[in-house]
Amino acid sequence: MKIRPEIESDRNTVYAINVAAFESNEEADLVDRLRDQAGFFISLVAEQGGEIVGHIMLSPARLPANPDTPAIGLGPMAVTPANQGQGIGSALVRAGLEQCRQQGFQAAFVLGHPDYYPRFGFVPASRFGIESVYDVPDEVFMAMELLPGSLTDKAGKMYYHPVFDEL
């Protein structure tokens, strides 16, 4: 398996992967809107046997009470249903988080499955006193310090890019 940056010619395949994985167009449309509006984002694909089988996108997040803490939001992340459970999603998450570290981001956030994301070091964001602006259960809004200590005393709300509000 190979993880690489998404290129323009991957766009339709990435859209189809997100539709298949989430069984709706919402996340696929979100990816398109982030490409068009976010300015900066990290978008990676997983190739297996020359075929794209997974995708992850990470885009800047805001901690208004702590604007000096560069933060990123993970999501969406999708793997084709036929290829789930093979470690492709995990490889995408690890590669995406490593790129975030290299880009100077200090913290990452995710709205995701509480049994999946902790394996990468995510914990409920409430442990840092950080809340989601969305009405979601505490255990699904998670944070990870990409730079140790970066979320110490950083309580407040975290905001994804505004296109997330359109979901």
Contact 57, 42 (CB under 8 A): yes
- For residue 66, pLDDT over 90 is answered with no
pLDDT of residue 46: 98
| pLDDT of 71 over the 80 cut | yes
| Calpha distance 73→81 (Å, rounded) | 23
Residue partners of 59: CB distance under 8 A and separation at least 6: 34, 38, 40, 41, 42, 72, 73, 160, 161
pLDDT averaged over the chain? 95
- Phi first, then psi: give them for residue 130, nearest 5 degrees: -105, 135
Q: Which amino acid is at 5?
A: P
For each of the domains in the chain, give its residue range(s) and CATH number, in order of start: 2-166 (3.40.630.30)
pLDDT digits 0-9 by tens, 96-144: 999 999 999 999 999 999 999 999 999 999 999 999 999 999 999 999 9
pLDDT, tens digit (0-9, with 9 covering 90-100), for 32-61: 999 998 888 999 999 999 999 999 999 999
**pLDDT value at position 23?**
87
Output the CA torsion 101→103→104→108 (10° steps).
Answer: -50
